[in-house]
Structure 1
Amino acid sequence: MTKLEPSGPLALAGIRVLEVGTGSALAYAGKLFADFGAEVIKVEDGAGDALRHLPPLLAAAGQAPQSALNAWLSTNKRSVTLRGQSIEELAWLSRLAMSCDVVLDARALRQGVEILAHPVCRRSADIQSAKAPIEVYLTWFGESGPYSQFTGSDAVCRALAGAVHGSGAVAGPPHLPHDMQTGIVAGLGAFSSAVAALLGASDGSRRYVLSIHEAAFTVVEMEAGMVQDGRHPQARLGVNRFCTTHPGGIYPTKEGWIGLFAHTLPQWSALCVAIGRPELAHDARFVSGPTRITYADEIDAFLQPALLTRTAGEWFELLGSSKFPAVLVPTMDELLAQKVHRERAAFVPVASGATRFEGVGVPFPLGDAGPLRGGVAAHKGAHDNAYRTEEALAGAAGRTRAAEGLPPLRKLRVIDLTMGWAGPLAARTLADFGAEVIKVEGTQYPDWWRGTHFTEEFYQQRLYEKNSNFALMNRNKLGVTLDLAHPEGREAFLALVKTADMVIENYSTEVLPKLGLDYASLCQVNERLVMVSMPAFGIGNEWSRVRAYGGTLEQASGLPHHTGFAHNPPSLTSYAYGDPIGGWNAGAAALLALLVQARTGKGRHVNLSQVECMLPLAAPFLIEQSLCGKTSPRQGNAHPVFAPHNIYPCAGEDAWMVVSVADDAQWDALLDVLQAPELRLDPALSVVAGRRAQREKIDAVIAAWTRQRPADDAMHLLQRAGVGAGVVKPIGSVLEDPHLRSRGFFQKVQREHLGEYLATTPWFRESQQPLEISRVAPTLGEHSREVFSRVIGLTQEQVNALEKSGITGTMAARKRA
C-alpha cells in the first residue's frame, strides 16, 4: 500500500498517522485525524485496546464483543496488530512509524514514562536519529515531577487537578464524570499539538509531551483565578449551585427540564417578570449574582413552583424572547431529535460489522475540507497484511528536528475579537504556539472578564485591570482598543484584518453583521482570511440567538442527566464546563482551518456551535440511546468497567480520595495494602465482574481504611503499591500542589495594576521544562500605538487623533447612554 496523496479536499488528506498505545485521549486524537481524511493506522497488541470492553457492547457472530463507543472512536482508521515484542516485530513497527508524518504515542499510560526514552520510531539502528516524524506523547503526569511515576487514570488525574472536589452535595461525596470527558480534552490537546507542528513543518519535525493531569486542570482554570482574587468559596455549595450566581441550575417544569443562568441584573429582572414576581427584580438581596447565591434556598422556594406552571419548551420560548439564558435540558432521546443539531449533521452513522448506530460528528464544520459524516470501524487486524509490505513501509517522512523553542505558528497573525473564557482560551492556544495574537477591545466595551459591575470604583480604581481570570486567559497576546461602531475604528480594524491570517470571535450572532464586520465583509479585504465564530448553537438556525454561558452549554448538551447520583435532579458540574470545552474545540478547529489555508491558499468561515463541542463528552450516552433505545440510570461515581472505582472519605474535614482499579494486578496490590482477608478469600472478587457485583461490600472496606488516614498519606501508600489513587483536591490546594510546582506549571509573574500572581503555562512541552510566557496579558490598549504603527502604518499624529476622538485609548470609558 503506497502512502496516500491528496485525492480530495479533505483537510488532512495525504497525511499518514500512527496511533500506538491505549486510552480514549489517544483514540479521540486519532479519530480527529481520520475523520478529516488522514490515513490513521491504529496499532494494537494481541489483547487489543482496553477500550474494546467499554459498554455498550456489540454482539457479532463468530467475533468477540466489540464496544460501540470504541467503534465510534475508530471510524475511518486502519487496524493492524503488533505480533509480540520480538526484535523483528519492533523493527517493523519502527519502520512503519518512520513512514508516517505524525506519531501519536500513548504507551506511557500503560508502561510508564520510561517508555518515552524508547521512541517507537528509533528502534532500527540504520535510522538517522536526527530524522523523525512529528511525535506527540500522552502521559498521565508528564515526564518529570513527584507524580510522574504514579499509576494514573482519567479519574485520578481529574481529582488531582481540582476538577472534581467542587461538584456535588455539600456533604459529599463529590461527583466524578465519565472518563471519556477527560479523554476528549486530552485528545484535543494531542491533535492540536500535532496540527500546530504540521503548520510549522518547514522548520522540521517537533516532539511534544502532554500531561493529561495538566490538560484536566484547564477545565477549572477559571477557578484558579477566582481563588487568587479571593472570590472563590473553596467549598461545595450543593447540587446545581454555581458559586458566582443564582439561579444557575436545572429545574423541573410541567414537562421536561429547563436550565437557567441569571448573571446580570437585567437577566434577573427578566426572570422575575416572567414568573410573575416583578417586585423582586430590585430587591437589595438579589441585585447581583454573588449575593443571590447567599439566598439560593429562598429564591428556589418561589422559583420552583412557578416553573412547574409551564413546560420546558414554553419557558424556553418565553425567556428566550427576553434574551434570558435559558435552554432545554434534553434527555439523550430528546437530544437526538433536536432539529437544530440534525440540520448541522451533529449526529452521524457508524458501522461496525453488520451493526449500524448513530454517533457524534466531529464538531469542526470546515465545509468541503471535512469532516467525514460518519464511517466504518474496521475489525481488529483488518489491515495487517497491507502494512507488512515493502511498498507500505517505504517513503519515510525524513524530517530533521526543528530547533527547540522555535514556535511553529510564529509567522501567523490572528485578530482576537473574543471575550470571557471560551474565545480567549481558543485564541490563547494559537498564541502559545507562537502566533502573533492581537486582542481587540473597546474602551467602552472591554472584555467582560475584566469585570461587569460598572461602578465608579470600576473606573477610578481600574478594577478592569485587576481580574486574575482575564490575566490567565490572555497571556502571550498584544492588546489594542478600537471603537468598531465608529467609521474610523472600523477602517483601522479592516486594515488589521487585511494583514491577518485569521479572525476569531465569540460575539452574539447579531453583533458583527450590525457593524458591517461579518465574514462576507471581511473577506472582501482579505480573500484568504480564515474566520472562526463560536456562538452557542452556531450561526444561521432558529436557535442562533440563544444567550448562553458555559453552564448553559452544559445544560443544553444533556450531560447533566448522566452526572451525579440518581436520587438528585440532573446535575451540573460546579464550573462553567462549556467554556473550556468550547475553547479547546475552537482552538483545534482554528489550527486545522489554518492548515487548510496553508495547503490551498483559500479562506473559509468556520461556523462552530459550542453546544456541539460538548456532544463528544456525551458520546457514551448518545451511542447507548441510539443502539439500545434507552440509557442506563445514573451510576454516581461507579465506572463502566473498572472496579473498585469510587470516591472515598478520608480523615479530616471534607477530605476525599479517588481509588481507580483498572485491572486484576492493581486489585491484588490494593488487597496487599488494605490487609483485608475477607476480600482476598472471596474467589468471585478475583475478576472485575465479581467485583462490580459486590461493589458496596468492597467500597465499605476501602472507606473504613481511608477514614483512618489523611488523604495524601492514603494516596502515597496506594501509589507506592501501584494502585491508581489520587486526592480529590480543592482548587485552592491545587495552586500549592507539589507536583505542579516542581514542574514549573505555575509561574509567578508581575503585571501592572494587578501585581504578582500565579500564571499557568501551556499544557504541551518540548522538553521537561515549561514553555516560557513571552508576555503577560495586556492592559487595556497597552499595545495600540505599537501595533497601529508597525502593522497598519499609522503615524503618531493619526493615533493621537484616534485617542482624542475616543476611538482608541488605554482607560475604560463609561458606556454611552
Structure 2
Amino acid sequence: MEVLSHLRVVEIGSSAATSYCARLFADFGADVRKIEPPEGDGLRRSPPFTSAGQSAWFAFLNFNKSSIIIDPGAPQASTRLTALIEDCDILIDGRDVDAADCPDVDLASVRQLYPKLIYLETSWFGRHGPYAGLTATDSTVRALAGLIKLVGPVEGPPVHAPDFQTGILAGLWGFIAAASSVLAQTQAGGGRSWSLSIFESSLALSEYLMSEAFACGDVMRRIGTNRFWPGSPVGIYEARKGWLGVTVVTPGQWRAFCDMLDLPELRDEPVWIPSEDCLKRLDQVERRFIPKLKARTAHEWFAEGRKRRIPIVPVSQISDLLQEREKKVPGAIVPVLLGEEEGLTVGSVQRLTLTPPRRGGKVPALGEQQSVKNTRRKLTGTASASSSCVDATRRPLQGIRVIDFSMGWAGPLCTRTLADLGADVIKIEAIQYPDWWRGVDRTPAYIDAQMYEKRARFCFMNRNKRGITLDLSRPQGCTLAKRLVAGADIVVDNYSVDVLPKLGLGYEVLRTVNTRLIMMSMSAFGTDSAYRDCRAYGSTLEQGSGLPSVIGSSGDPPVMSHIAFGDAVGGLNGCAAVLVALIHARTTGQGQFIDLAQIECMMPFAAPWITIHSTGGMPPPRYGSRHPQFVPHGCFRCAGEDNWIVVTATDEDMWQRLAMLLGRPDWAADPSLRSEEARRGIEDVIERTIEAWTLTRDADQAMSDLQAVGIAAGVARLPIDLLNDRHLRSRAFLQEIERAFIGRHPQPSLPIREGSEPYPIRTAAPTLGQHNREILSGLLDLSDAEIAQLSREGIIGTTMLSDGELVTTKKASSG
C-alpha cells in the first residue's frame, strides 16, 4: 500500500507552489483532485512546450493527479466545490496567487463543520505587510529575496534562470506544513490551518549569506560569473572537453587541488580566507590554474579529483542526465505520459526504501479522472470539541526525538525545521571534529579566542536544538550514541556514506537497537551511486544537476546561480522525506532507511528542459535575463551604483499599462503588439526604453511607481538588505534572540505559520557540548562521576581541539 493512499487532497487556484505541494502528496499515493476552470489551469499554457504542444512545466507539477472541471458560471458551482472540499483531508489553496476562476466557497463554514480539515493557503508575500498587495512573478520575488543581484558579470546585468524555482521551494515548505499536520492528527487534535509566503520560503536560499552579512557587514558584491564571495575557487571552469565544477573550501582541499595541478607555489595561498583583497588574490590565482585545467577533459579531472578527495564534478548537460543509467534506475528520472506523448521528467527525490514513491505517471487531460485505489481512510469529519480543537501551544512534531549527526547546512536545515515544528533534536558533535560551520581554522589562536562559538551561520542553522559532544571513534562514545538512538524516532546524517557504518553506527546496526527507527542518509550522490565516495558541497550539487547549462545566454559558459544552491534544497527535501516516513511509522510501527541523494534534489529545477529533450523537441534557447513567456522581462539598471530592478509584463493588460508609464501610448494602442510573440520582435527596443526610464529613478522608487499601476517589479536586493527589509520587519520574520559569545542576533522564522505571527524561537543554538550533563544524566542516567570520567578521557567536552591537541589525543587513544 502506498504510504499516503489514505489521504484525499483538493487543490484549488493556480500556482506552481500549490501544484508542486499537491504533487508531492500524489507521489506517495494520495488521491489528488485538481480543480480547473473550463479553459484549464493557466500553467497548462506555460512554455517550454513538447513537440506535441504540451507544457513540460505543467507536466512536472501535475502528473498522477485527477482534473475536475468546475465552471464558475454554472448553477451550483459553489455547492459542487464545497462538496469536494467536505470530502477531503487536505485543502491546498493557491487562489491568492491566481484565482483561476475558482467558484466562491465558504471555507469558514466548511472548517467549522469538518474541524479536522487541514488547510494550506499560499500567497506571494503573506496576507499583511508592505508587500502584501504587490504584483509578483517568480523572478521579481527572487530579486527581492537576494537571489539575483550577486549572479553574473561585474558590470551587469545580473543573470538569473527562468521562472522554475520559487514554486519548488514554496511547494516543499507547503508539503512540510501539511504533512506535519497529518502526523499530528495521528496523535490527537483537529486540522491545522497554515499560511505560506512564497517570498519568505525563498529566503531558505538566502539565510547563509544573510548570516554572513550580519557577521561581516556590507562586503558582498557581484564579482563575476561563476564567482561568489568570499572569493574561494567555487565556480565553473573550462576543461579540454566540457566544463568542470570546482569547490575548494578547506586548506587541505586547496593543497590537494594545487598538487593535482602541479602548482606547489600556490599551496600556501590562503584563497579561502575572506579579506578585502580576496578578489585581487583570486584573479592572480585563477590566471595560474585555469590554463592547467584545459590540459585534461572534465571527466578525467573528475576521476583524478576523486582519488584526492577534492570536490570537483563535470558540469552536466541536460542530454547527459538522460543518458545516465543511475538517474533512471533509482527513479530520479521517470516516465511520464502527456496525452499520447511519452516522455521523461523528474520523479520524487524522497527515496524511501520501504515505502517508495510512484515511479512516474500520467498528466491528466482537462477533466480526466485518474484511477485511485480504494484504500482511503478518511481523516475529516465531524468531531467532538475535545478532539477537534488544536492546542495552540503544541507544535505538530512535539514528542518526536531526532538524533542529529549532520554538519554544515543541508542536514542542519532539515533537523532545524523538525526542531522548529516541535521535535526534540539532539545534535551530536565532537571536540575533535565539531560542525565545520563553526569554522575550519584549527590554529591555537582561533581556538583560544573561541571563534568556533561566534559563527552566525552556525547559530542560524542550529537553533531550537540541544547539543552534546561524543567522540564516536571510541567505544564509549559509540555506545552512548546507540543508547540515545534507542529512544529516538529519527536519525539524520549528511556525512559521506561510509562514515557512520565504519563507526559501527550504520542503519543495519541501529535498527537492531531500535526497530521503529527512521534513519536518513543525506549524501551527495546516494549510497548506491558509483560516485558515492565523492566529496561534495551545495555548489557541487548545482554544478552536476544540469541547471547551469540552461542559465545565461547562448554561447556563454554554464552559469551557477548560488554559492551553495544544493544545501538548502537538500535540507528541505530531507525534511519532507522524514515526515512521510514518520506518517508510515506512526500507523504501522515500521521504521525504514531513507537514501536521499542530494544531487537529485536539484534536478526539479531543470525538469522542463529534461522533458523537452526526452520528447525529441527542440531544446529551448538560453534566455539570459529574458523569459520564455513574458515580454518584456529583464533586469534593468537604476540610478546610482549597481542598482537593479526586475520588470516584467505577464499579460496584455500589464503590457499596456507599462507602455503608458514609459510614455509610449502608441505601443499601448498598437493591436499588433498585444501578443508576446509580436513584442519579442522589438524586445531590444522595449528593453532600451525601460532602462532609459529606470536609469532616472532610484530602484525602490522605480518599484513603487511600477507597482502603483499593477506592473510586476522587484528590486534586486543584496543579502544584507534583507536584514532590514521593511516587509520582513512588519511580519516579525526576523526574530532577535540572545546567545552566549555573539549576543543578540537575528534569526529567520519559518515561512509557514499557523496564525498571523511566526512560531517564536525557543532557544539559541547550543554552544559546544552545552547539554552534555542534561542529556547524559537526564536521558541516559549517567552519574556525575561517570560524566566526569568521560570528560577527562576527552570523549565529551566543551572546547574544540587544535590540530596539535588532536594529534596528541590520537596518539594517546591509539597507545
TM-score range, shorter chain: over 0.9
CA 1:92/1:509 → structure 2, altered by over 3 Å: closer, same or farther?
same
Selected match of 2:14 from 22, 28, 34 = 22
Aligned-pair distance for 1:365? Answer: 0.9
Q: 2:222 and 2:336 mapped to 1: Cα distance?
A: 40
Q: Contact 1:220 / 1:575 at 8 angstroms: preserved in 2?
A: no
Question: Which residue pairs with 2:290 in the alignment?
Answer: 304
- Residues 507-656 of structure 1: pairs in structure 2 closer than 5 A: 507-628=495-616, 631-656=619-644
- Residues 113-124 of structure 1: pairs in structure 2 closer than 5 A: 121-122=107-108
Q: 1:312 and 1:241 mapped to 2: Cα distance?
A: 19
CA 1:736/1:289 → structure 2, altered by over 3 Å: closer, same or farther?
closer
- Residues 116-135 of structure 1: pairs in structure 2 closer than 5 A: 121-122=107-108, 128-129=112-113, 131-135=115-119
Aligned-pair distance for 1:396? Answer: 4.8
Aligned-pair distance for 1:29? Answer: 1.0
Superposed CA offset, 1:452-511 (max 9, x none): 111222211111110000111111111111111111111111110000000000011221
Q: In the alignment, does 2:41 pair up with 1:55?
A: no
Q: Equivalent residue of 1:810, what SS?
A: coil
Q: 1:16 and 1:670 mapped to 2: Cα distance?
A: 43
Superposed CA offset, 1:426-466 (max 9, x none): 10111111101111110111110011111222211111110
Question: Which residue pairs with 1:164 in the alignment?
Answer: 148
Q: Contact 1:159 / 1:729 at 8 angstroms: preserved in 2?
A: yes
Matched letter for residue 321 of structure 1: K
Selected match of 2:5 from 4, 13, 21 = 13
Question: Which residue pairs with 2:704 in the alignment?
Answer: 716
Matched letter for residue 281 of structure 2: Y
Question: Which residue pairs with 1:449 in the alignment?
Answer: 437
Selected match of 2:686 from 673, 676, 698 = 698
Matched letter for residue 11 of structure 1: V
Q: Equivalent residue of 2:398, what SS?
A: coil
Q: In the alignment, does 2:301 pair up with 1:315?
A: yes
TM, length-normalised to structure 2: 0.94
Q: Equivalent residue of 2:196, what SS?
A: strand
Selected match of 1:418 from 395, 406, 412 = 406
Q: 1:564 and 1:656 mapped to 2: Cα distance?
A: 17
Q: Contact 1:98 / 1:398 at 8 angstroms: preserved in 2?
A: no
Q: Contact 2:354 / 2:592 at 8 angstroms: preserved in 1?
A: no
Q: 1:301 and 1:48 mapped to 2: Cα distance?
A: 54
Q: In the alignment, does 2:290 pair up with 1:294?
A: no
Q: Equivalent residue of 2:427, what SS?
A: strand
CA 1:739/1:119 → structure 2, altered by over 3 Å: closer, same or farther?
farther
Q: In the alignment, does 2:657 pair up with 1:673?
A: no
Q: Contact 2:232 / 2:272 at 8 angstroms: preserved in 1?
A: no
Superposed CA offset, 1:592-613 (max 9, x none): 1111111221111101100000
Q: Contact 1:186 / 1:216 at 8 angstroms: preserved in 2?
A: yes
Selected match of 1:664 from 649, 652, 659 = 652
Q: Equivalent residue of 2:98, what SS?
A: helix
Q: Contact 1:232 / 1:243 at 8 angstroms: preserved in 2?
A: no
Superposed CA offset, 1:527-567 (max 9, x none): 11000111110112220011011111110102111122334
Q: Contact 1:98 / 1:121 at 8 angstroms: preserved in 2?
A: no
TM, length-normalised to structure 1: 0.94
Q: Equivalent residue of 1:770, what SS?
A: coil
Q: Equivalent residue of 1:48, what SS?
A: coil
Q: In the alignment, does 2:220 pair up with 1:234?
A: yes
Q: 1:53 and 1:502 mapped to 2: Cα distance?
A: 42
Question: Which residue pairs with 1:198 in the alignment?
Answer: 182
Aligned-pair distance for 1:362? Answer: 0.8
Question: Which residue pairs with 2:713 in the alignment?
Answer: 725
Q: Contact 1:265 / 1:288 at 8 angstroms: preserved in 2?
A: no
Question: Which residue pairs with 2:166 in the alignment?
Answer: 182
Aligned-pair distance for 1:224? Answer: 0.5
CA 1:715/1:430 → structure 2, altered by over 3 Å: closer, same or farther?
same
Q: 1:560 and 1:79 mapped to 2: Cα distance?
A: 34
Question: Which residue pairs with 2:236 in the alignment?
Answer: 250
Q: Contact 2:7 / 2:377 at 8 angstroms: preserved in 1?
A: no
Aligned-pair distance for 1:675? Answer: 2.6
Aligned-pair distance for 1:14? Answer: 1.3
Q: In the alignment, does 2:65 pair up with 1:77?
A: yes
Question: Which residue pairs with 2:810 in the alignment?
Answer: none
Q: Equivalent residue of 1:145, what SS?
A: coil
Q: Contact 2:7 / 2:378 at 8 angstroms: preserved in 1?
A: no
Matched letter for residue 447 of structure 1: D
Q: 2:777 and 2:656 mapped to 1: Cα distance?
A: 67
Question: Which residue pairs with 1:3 in the alignment?
Answer: none
Matched letter for residue 361 of structure 1: G
CA 1:570/1:287 → structure 2, altered by over 3 Å: closer, same or farther?
closer
Equivalences, count: 796
Q: Contact 1:91 / 1:123 at 8 angstroms: preserved in 2?
A: no
- Residues 131-146 of structure 1: pairs in structure 2 closer than 5 A: 131-146=115-130
Aligned-pair distance for 1:231? Answer: 6.5
CA 1:776/1:665 → structure 2, altered by over 3 Å: closer, same or farther?
same
State percent identity of aligned pairs: 39
Structure 1 portions without partners, runs of 5+: 1-7, 387-391
Aligned-pair distance for 1:787? Answer: 1.4
Q: 1:715 and 1:289 mapped to 2: Cα distance?
A: 33
Q: Contact 1:94 / 1:123 at 8 angstroms: preserved in 2?
A: no
Structure 2 portions without partners, runs of 5+: 808-815
Q: 2:180 and 2:680 mapped to 1: Cα distance?
A: 42
Question: Which residue pairs with 1:273 in the alignment?
Answer: 259
Q: 1:76 and 1:94 mapped to 2: Cα distance?
A: 23
Matched letter for residue 150 of structure 1: L
Q: In the alignment, does 2:323 pair up with 1:331?
A: no
Question: Which residue pairs with 2:737 in the alignment?
Answer: 749
Aligned-pair distance for 1:75? Answer: 1.2
Question: Which residue pairs with 2:811 in the alignment?
Answer: none
CA 1:59/1:617 → structure 2, altered by over 3 Å: closer, same or farther?
closer
Q: Contact 1:95 / 1:121 at 8 angstroms: preserved in 2?
A: no
Q: 1:319 and 1:77 mapped to 2: Cα distance?
A: 43
- Residues 75-114 of structure 1: pairs in structure 2 closer than 5 A: 75-85=63-73, 88-111=76-99
Moved more, 354-363 or 71-80: 71-80
Superposed CA offset, 1:293-320 (max 9, x none): 4322222222222111111111110111
Q: Equivalent residue of 1:34, what SS?
A: helix
Q: 1:43 and 1:22 mapped to 2: Cα distance?
A: 9
Question: Which residue pairs with 1:34 in the alignment?
Answer: 26
Superposed CA offset, 1:691-712 (max 9, x none): 2332222211211111111111
Q: Equivalent residue of 2:81, what SS?
A: helix
Aligned-pair distance for 1:591? Answer: 1.2
Q: 1:313 and 1:790 mapped to 2: Cα distance?
A: 52
CA 1:59/1:565 → structure 2, altered by over 3 Å: closer, same or farther?
closer
Matched letter for residue 179 of structure 1: D
CA 1:706/1:231 → structure 2, altered by over 3 Å: closer, same or farther?
closer
Aligned-pair distance for 1:575? Answer: 2.2
CA 1:397/1:652 → structure 2, altered by over 3 Å: closer, same or farther?
farther
